[in-house]
Amino acid sequence: MMREGSSPMIHRADYTAPAYWIRSVDLAFDLDPAKTMVINRMRVERNIDVAPQPLRLHGEDLNLTRVLVNDASVSFRHEHGMLVIDSAQDLPAGEFTLEIRNTCAPEKNTQLSGLYTSASGFFTQCEAEGFRRITYFLDRPDVMAVYTVTLRATKAAYPVLLSNGNLLEQGDLDNGPNGPRHFAKWHDPFPKPSYLFALVAADLVVRQQQIRTRSGNDHLLQVYVKRGDLDKTEHAMNSLIASVIWDEARFKLPLDLERFMIVAVEDFNMGAMENKGLNIFNTKFVLASPATATDENYAGIESVVGHEYFHNWTGNRITCRDWFQLSLKEGLTVFRDQEFSMDMAGSASARAVKRIEDVRKLREVQFPEDAGPMAHPVRPDSYAEINNFYTPTVYEKGAEVVRMMHTLVGREGFANGMALYFERFDGQAVTCDDFAQAIADANPHSELARTLPQFERWYSQAGTPRLTARGRYDAPSRTYTLGVEQAGAPASHTTQEPFVIPFAIGLIGRDGRALPVQLEDEPADAPEAGKTDRLLVLTEARSFFTFVNVDVEPVPSLLRGFSAPVMLADGLDDADLLILLQHDTDPFTRWEAGQRLALNRLLAAARSNVPAELDTPFTEAMRSLLRHPALDAAFKDQVLTLPSESYLAEQLVPADPPRIHAVRQRMLAQMASALRVDWEWAFDAHQVSGPYSPDSLSAGKRSLANRALAMLCLDSVPRGDTVWPGRAYQRMNDATNMTDRLGALSALVYSHAPHAEPALHRFHELFRNEALVIDSWFKLQATAPEVDGKVFERAKQLLKHPDFSLRNPNRARSLLSGFCTNNPGAFHRLDAAGYVFWAEHVIELDAINPQLAARFARSLDRWNQLAEPYRSAAREAIVRVAAKPDLSGGVREIVTNALAL
């Protein structure tokens, strides 16, 4: 396929309202894989607020067969890839009918954007700009229409015909070339932007359940999957029911549809899509059974089902004015799904673990993005390809911005703000400013309302703010003074003005006691006075706070709960961190203290290049944490997980990934041997018996047991001791759930145990027909710790495996991103062969699926931070890709930005 060399830049400042509105759409499809016919009848109206101008419609990869205005043919032309009808501006200002007929070729659509075929039938993906690949349209989110959709297809091959909204009619048609045909007609009463349109025509089976909600309304919930997968839909259905209940309870947002459908498809670029009433999901986030899915998979399903369901209000009822406002729906909806998962987790400890996981992800993925060539504000100012802006910054940092608002106005204040937001904007396409204003207006006396314009810098300024905090205790006056400075990220291209930073803190005595935190100008009887934790709000480049009645020199516990998405240098030493690790009542800062102890040692070792011995205070602290009688297994597992290589690389400039890998592996090995007896205890003490349940308590035990097993194998293999690897093999073979089975397999593969090969073989044999399990099998091998280039060799061999395919996004990602993004120690090689591998596959993938290629291309984003010779070699590989004249606009934007550094 030929494509243009580069896409023009789109700027947020250039937004103008559309010149026409499309009020309703009547679509009819004759579905055929090779050539689908689309009849698109629209009621169109000039936007009288805009000067009369020609009607310009988006269209891509379509064959146009006719254009009628008010049922009469009109002249039209093609200009810059758009269909232009000049005569429309001469029509009266009232409504007119525009009918367009065109065809498209779903089976040739390997991009998986627009209408495409996958194993069991036809599927669509329209966000962000896929609808224009189905028919000509004003394909922008501020044009909202009411859709009526008729689907016609061969009955035997495509027994299920679905679209948004309610089913009006269905029935049989006469014979087509492939046998009897049938039809279904759907109507969605809610006006929606084109990106929320969906259709499915496929051979599927359904799990369904009728529910009655609090408000007394009945709804039909359905989960459609391909034949044979019905036994893997129970968890998705339960998650959907829980989501409906939760949104009504927490935000008073009820389900507004008679019928809510989820459809799973094997070929899908992203996780899932919130099409109104007809969510389409990557199978990865629907299908689960104890035998095939891990605890992590179960948790992923709960959160993605929740996420898409919550979009029904935050995204669909109120949508984005333009794509620069993407975080309006995504940041808010991620915040909502995070809160949902926390509420589902139950105990305080399980909530904290979820928060820790979310922060870990933010630091591993979003912080690097914010310091690299693709850094952008939560509300970007420009883009070439919108698909490149479905980023951790828009999603995860966007969620942190919403969380900060929540922190500043309180739980109830936030609920009031949401209510006002819906009161003002239901049914409209709005901006991030509109959202923030509603939350502030509902809370006029809050810190958010007081600082709103400054707070909104979180939407406009890129880069991770850096905080430096220093405290000083004055014994005679029993006061403690805390100074905090904020500075913009050094890598950001623009100067940063100070942010509004909610800064939650506590003070801990050296004996572990939580001390009251009383500010100096506060009366002793103020409601806050006796409390042991509090929220400070930083607004200046430098702030000072003095606390009174502090009996002993405290250790400050700062940024509790990770109250803002910042980096913090607090100057605490090992002794302070050990106190926090032992006594902090805030689980986040407690966990963070453990991470910092590990990080300090890892960074020192990486900088000095002398293999360091792990010190006793550290191993003792880890031992007592592991053996702690009161802490939950999941929390222990989080403390005992070392910071990732990518997080380490961000702290080390220039970064030498193989060295970072070696240093981290060595520390793991030392923790494995120093705590051997404790790992043995942990493995035995955390076995879960009885039928599988994905609840957080059981999942926590399994994850700690799996970590113990991995440590025991890591310790045994170099010594030639086969007892634990043997046990791991047994467990891989006999386990009754996938969490234990995959945990055992990964313990063998990651320790390069002799049992790894037979285990991989056996595992493949057992699950050859389970696509999602085979994805994990590929990924596990691609992410194994490198030894003498063997992992790289294996990755290259796996490309030729009969089960491998670049056409299936999950499969391609398992191997390619597994190796290039998730295995830095293997990918960055002195001979640059990893980069050559990367360049070849970016190019190969780009010809098939440019969105996927552009995402994959980002594994070299941080080339500029690398030590030599990696840096120059990586740059050369990017230059090689950039030299290709026919790259997609998406990949072009990624490599151009990378080289602009």
Applying CB under 5 A, the residues found at the interface with Zn ion are 330, 333
Contact between 270 and ligand PHE by CB under 6 A: the answer reads yes
Q: How far apart are alpha carbons 118 and 98 in whole angstroms?
A: 31
Q: From 307, 280, 285, select the one nearest 296 (Cα to Cα).
A: 285
Report the alpha-carbon distance of residue 146 to residue 131 in Å, rounded.
15
- Cβ contact 882:895 at 8 Å: yes
By the rule CB under 6 A, 225 interacts with ligand PHE: no
Min dist CB 777 to Zn ion, Å, is 29
Q: Site size for ligand PHE, by CB under 6 A?
A: 11
Q: Per rule CB under 6 A, is residue 396 in the interface with ligand PHE?
A: no
Q: Is 273 in the site for ligand PHE (CB under 6 A)?
A: yes
Question: 577 touches which of ligand PHE, Zn ion, none (CB within 5 to 8 A by kind)?
Answer: none
**Which range binds ligand PHE by CB under 6 A, 125-133, 602-610, 746-754, 852-860?**
125-133
Binding segment (CB under 6 A) for ligand PHE, from list 123-131, 258-266, 799-807, 821-829? 123-131
Q: Which helix (H) or strand (E) holds 97?
A: strand 95-104
Residue 682 and residue 712 in contact, taking contact as beta carbons nearer than 8 Å? no
Which one of residues 308, 337, 456, 637 is an interface residue with ligand PHE (CB under 6 A)? 308
The smaller minimum CB distance to ligand PHE, of residues 290 and 398, is found at 398
Structure tokens at 178: 């492939």
Residue 26 near which of Zn ion, ligand PHE, none (CB within 5-8 Å, type-dependent): none
Contact of residue 390 among ligand PHE, Zn ion, none (CB under 5-8 Å per partner type): ligand PHE
The interface region with ligand PHE, picked from 3-11, 124-132, 584-592, 696-704 by CB under 6 A, is: 124-132
Helix (H) or strand (E) holding 190: strand 179-193
CA distance 2 to 60: 12
Name which of 165 and 398 has its Cβ closer to ligand PHE. 398
For residue 862, give Cα distances in angstroms to 289, 479, 645.
38, 44, 13
Tell me which stretch binds ligand PHE (CB under 6 A): 67-75, 79-87, 270-278, 348-356. 270-278
Minimum distance between the CB of residue 592 and ligand PHE, rounded to whole angstroms?
Answer: 28
Out of ligand PHE, Zn ion, none, what residue 403 binds, judged by CB under 5 to 8 A for its kind, is: none
* Site membership for ligand PHE, residue 267 (CB under 6 A): no
Count of CA atoms in the C-beta half-sphere (13 A) of 446:
29
270 binds, among ligand PHE, Zn ion, none (CB under 5 to 8 A by kind): ligand PHE
For the bound state, the minimum distance from the C-beta of residue 308 to ligand PHE, rounded and expressed in Å, comes to 5
Return the bridge partners of 555, or none.
508
Task: Give the integer Cα–Cα distance in Å for 338 and 354.
Answer: 8
Q: Which run of H or of E encompasses 748?
A: helix 738-750
CB of 331 vs ligand PHE, minimal distance in Å:
10
Q: 739, 702 in Cβ contact below 8 A?
A: yes
Segments in 536-655 forming alpha helices (H): 574-583, 587-608, 616-627, 633-640, 645-651
Query: Pick from ligand PHE, Zn ion, none: which does 656 bind, CB < 5 to 8 A by kind?
Result: none
- Catalytic, out of 308, 369, 447, 770: 308
Question: Which of 114, 561 has the CB closer to ligand PHE?
Answer: 114
Pull the structure tokens for residue 478.
């029993």
Site membership for ligand PHE, residue 139 (CB under 6 A)? no
- The one of ligand PHE, Zn ion, none whose footprint includes residue 273, by CB under 5 to 8 A per kind, is ligand PHE
By CB under 6 A, tell whether 274 contacts ligand PHE.
yes
Measured in degrees and rounded to the nearest 5, phi and psi for residue 322 equal -150, 170
Residues contacting residue 534 through CB under 8 Å, at least 6 positions apart: 504, 505, 506, 517, 528
> What is the widest separation between alpha-carbon atoms in the chain?
95
Identify which of 824, 792, 489 has the alpha carbon closest to the alpha carbon of residue 647: 824
C-alpha span between 310 and 243 (Å, rounded): 8
Residue with smaller CB distance to Zn ion, 394 or 550: 394
Q: Does 127 contact ligand PHE by CB under 6 A?
A: yes
Q: Supply the minimum distance, in Å, between the C-beta of residue 126 and ligand PHE.
A: 8
Q: Tell whether residue 337 is a contact of ligand PHE (CB under 6 A).
A: no
* Helices 447-455/432-441 angle, 10° precision: 160
**Interface pick for ligand PHE out of 302, 330, 632, 846 (rule CB under 6 A):** 330
Binding residue (CB under 6 A) for ligand PHE from 307, 811, 862, 892: 307
Report d(CA 68, CA 74) in Å as an integer: 6
Nearer to ligand PHE, 374 or 514 (CB): 374
> Does position 339 bind ligand PHE by CB under 6 A?
no
Of 272, 449, 489, 774, the one binding ligand PHE by CB under 6 A: 272
Pairing, β 160-163 against β 199-202: antiparallel
Among the listed ranges 17-25, 120-128, 690-698, 753-761, the one in contact with ligand PHE (CB under 6 A) is 120-128
125 is a site residue for ligand PHE (CB under 6 A) = yes
All residues at 6 or more sequence positions from 8 whose CB lies less than 8 Å from its CB, including other chains? 384
Of 210, 234, 205, 207, the residue nearest 220 (C-alpha): 210
Verify binding: residue 335, ligand PHE, rule CB under 6 A: no
Among the listed ranges 121-129, 406-414, 499-507, 662-670, the one in contact with ligand PHE (CB under 6 A) is 121-129
Closer by beta carbon to ligand PHE, 125 or else 289: 125
Q: Which is nearer to ligand PHE, 196 or 293 (CB)?
A: 196
Query: Among ligand PHE, Zn ion, none, what does residue 272 contact (CB within 5–8 Å per kind)?
Result: ligand PHE
Smaller CB separation from ligand PHE, 390 or 837: 390
Which residue's Cβ lies closest to ligand PHE?
Answer: 270
Would you call 308 a catalytic residue per the annotation?
yes
Nearer to ligand PHE, 336 or 875 (CB): 336
Give the nearer residue to Zn ion in terms of CB position, either 395 or 618: 395
Smallest gap from Cβ 608 to ligand PHE, in A, equals 43
Of residues 380 and 587, the one with the C-beta less far from ligand PHE: 380
Piece of the chain touching ligand PHE by CB under 6 A; list 153-161, 269-277, 624-632, 883-891: 269-277
Which residue in 69, 89, 280 sits closest to 195, CA to CA?
Answer: 280
Q: How far apart are CA 103 and CA 114, in angstroms?
A: 12
Q: Which of Zn ion, ligand PHE, none does 67 bind, CB closer than 5 to 8 A by kind?
A: none
Provide CB contacts within 8 A for 504, sequence distance 6+: 407, 533, 534, 535, 536, 559, 560, 561, 563, 586
For residues 130 and 488, which CB has a smaller minimum distance to ligand PHE in the complex? 130
Q: At what angle do helices 676-685 and 616-627 cross, to 10 degrees?
A: 10
To the nearest 10 degrees (0 to 180), the angle between helices 348-361 and 326-345 is 150
Q: Which of 224, 390, 591, 870 binds ligand PHE (CB under 6 A)?
A: 390
309 makes contact, choosing from ligand PHE, Zn ion, none, with CB < 5 to 8 Å by partner type, with none
Minimum distance, C-beta of residue 804 to ligand PHE, in the bound complex (Å)? 24
Give the span between the Cα atoms of 892 and 672, in whole angstroms: 45
**N-terminal to C-terminal alpha carbon distance within the chain:** 30
The number of CA neighbours under 13 Å toward the Cβ of 731 is: 27
Classify the C-alpha dihedral 237-243-249-255 as positive or negative: negative
CA distance linking residue 169 with residue 184, whole number of Å: 6
Give whichever of 706 and 851 is closer to ligand PHE, judged by the CB atom: 851
- Where along the sequence are the contacts to ligand PHE (CB under 6 A)? 125, 127-128, 270, 272-274, 307-308, 330, 390
Q: Which residues are catalytic?
A: 308
